[in-house]
Amino acid sequence: MSLIHQFPTDTIKNRLPSEYLCNRRNPLLQRTWLVATALLVGSLVSVSAQTTLAKWTFETSVPTTAGPLTPEVGAGSATSNTGATGTGFSNPAGWGSSESWSSNSWNVGEYFQFQASSTSFSGVTVSWQQVGSNTGPKNFRLEYSTDGTSFTIHQSYVVNTSTWNATLTPAADQYTFDLSAITALNNAAAIYFRLTMVNTVPIGATSTFGSTGTGRVDNFTITAAPPAGTPLITVGATLPAFTAFLGTPSVSQSFSVVGADLTASINLGAPLGFEVSSDNVSFSSSASLPSAGGTGYARVATSSVLGPVSGDITLTSTGAVDKSISLTGTVNDPNVLSLSFAPSSIPENSLTAAVGTVSIPLARPADLEVTLVNANPAAATIA
């Protein structure tokens, strides 16, 4: 079974049940059917814990070429044959992130291609987000191969005009396909997936397809289930950045860990500058969770030094592949209050601060800018 999160009723209505079509004017009934479908497919995919074989977020690769691009998670390679003689690639804002992979000068049959290995794995699923500009290609199809030469069409789909930025995550731009019924993709030395342009119909209804039209992809992910009985650790999403003051621990954040077929507890190891806990009470450089998993907690340690801090929590258990969770944060000085202001926004020779009124005789220079960086009002001074 396949699931595509975007349901353009006029173009894929042959793949929707009659109940959905009859209720397309009733948002409540329509939404109920979509949620039920998502739950059904989700249950099929999660029968066995899924492992990420490869994931391209483009945050590290920062693509401006046709590749090959190394995935940020797992192993594999991404390439493309689009772009004007290889110069049409760029890395604009992604789906709620800073980077994505974009190309212009599309022609029919051109593609984004992603390759990984499914050796010892089965039940492959792929997911990604994709958009384009008004004059870019609208109609695509997902194709797969085990040799990188002969490709089979799995499903056609359409993309929307991009509204992406570093924080926006439109649900309509997500695509997920369950390929577990395709046994040729199981336990294969190499598996390939292409997002291939079908025709020159533009995304914008009133636009004309053109060479400057772009297609953009983000977070292409290939997952699969390991063999039954394989010890496995699965972790949740990356945590948001931490903020702390020097000499004081930050507010803790939680993360989920799931163990499958493990014979020992799951050990958590904190990177330098951080602490971990299994109960959100006692924090140290290490902690453990039951073999079935549970909820772990992390925070910036009291001993952390001033400035940026980062590192990975390591998760280990006997017989399982090690996993990690990336942590980032900033440790600020509680005794320093940095202020900033534009000259035109304040009276000459005066300044009002959020922690009180402070009069500072000064001539207003044309290039002075002040920004409030951090403040602990109980101990802040002006520097």
Quote the pLDDT of residue 199. Answer: 97
Q: Does the structure show a pLDDT above 80 at 144?
A: yes
Q: Is 352 helix (H, G, I), strand (E, B) or coil?
A: strand
What stretches of the chain show up as alpha helix (H) in DSSP? 9-12, 18-22, 27-45
Bridge partners (DSSP) of residue 283 are none
Asked if residue 305 lies in contact with residue 273, where contact means CB atoms within 8 angstroms, the answer is yes
Q: What are phi and psi of 14, to 5 degrees?
A: -70, -15
Quote the pLDDT of residue 12. Answer: 34
Quote the pLDDT of residue 22. Answer: 37
Q: Does the structure show a pLDDT above 70 at 64?
A: yes
Quote the pLDDT of residue 118. Answer: 95
Asked if residue 214 lies in contact with residue 132, where contact means CB atoms within 8 angstroms, the answer is yes
How far apart are the C-alpha atoms of 51 and 149, rounded to whole Å?
26
Quote the pLDDT of residue 10. Answer: 33
Q: Does the structure show a pLDDT above 90 at 202?
A: yes
How far apart are the C-alpha atoms of 22 and 6, rounded to whole Å?
18
- Band the pLDDT of 50: cuts 50, 70, 90: confident
ω before 249 within 30° of 0 (cis)? no
How far apart are the C-alpha atoms of 246 and 273, rounded to whole Å?
11
- Here the tokens at position 150 are 């002969």
Asked if residue 307 lies in contact with residue 331, where contact means CB atoms within 8 angstroms, the answer is yes
The mean per-residue pLDDT over the stretch 335-363 comes to 51
How far apart are the C-alpha atoms of 100 and 249, rounded to whole Å?
34
pLDDT in tens, 214-272: 999 999 999 999 877 788 898 877 789 999 999 999 999 999 999 988 999 999 999 99
How far apart are the C-alpha atoms of 296 and 266, rounded to whole Å?
10
256 to 57, 156, 293, 318: CA distances (angstroms)? 21, 35, 8, 19
Asked if residue 124 lies in contact with residue 153, where contact means CB atoms within 8 angstroms, the answer is no
pLDDT in tens, 160-171: 999 999 999 999
Quote the pLDDT of residue 359. Answer: 46
Got the DSSP string for 117-136?
Answer: --TT-EEEEEEEEEEE-TTS
Indicate the average pLDDT of the chain. Answer: 81
Quote the pLDDT of residue 343. Answer: 52
Instruction: Tell how far CA 374 is from the center of its chain.
Output: 28
- Band the pLDDT of 85: cuts 50, 70, 90: low
Q: Does the structure show a pLDDT above 80 at 19?
A: no
In percent, the amount of the chain with pLDDT more than 70 equals: 74
Q: Does the structure show a pLDDT above 60 at 9?
A: no
pTM over 0.95: no
How far apart are the C-alpha atoms of 234 and 52, rounded to whole Å?
9
Maximum Cα–Cα distance across the chain? 77
pLDDT in tens, 357-374: 444 444 444 444 444 444
Got the DSSP string for 92-106?
Answer: ---SSSS--EEE-S-
More confident residue, 176 or 39: 176
Q: Which helix (H) or strand (E) holds 235?
A: strand 232-235
The mean per-residue pLDDT over the stretch 195-217 comes to 94
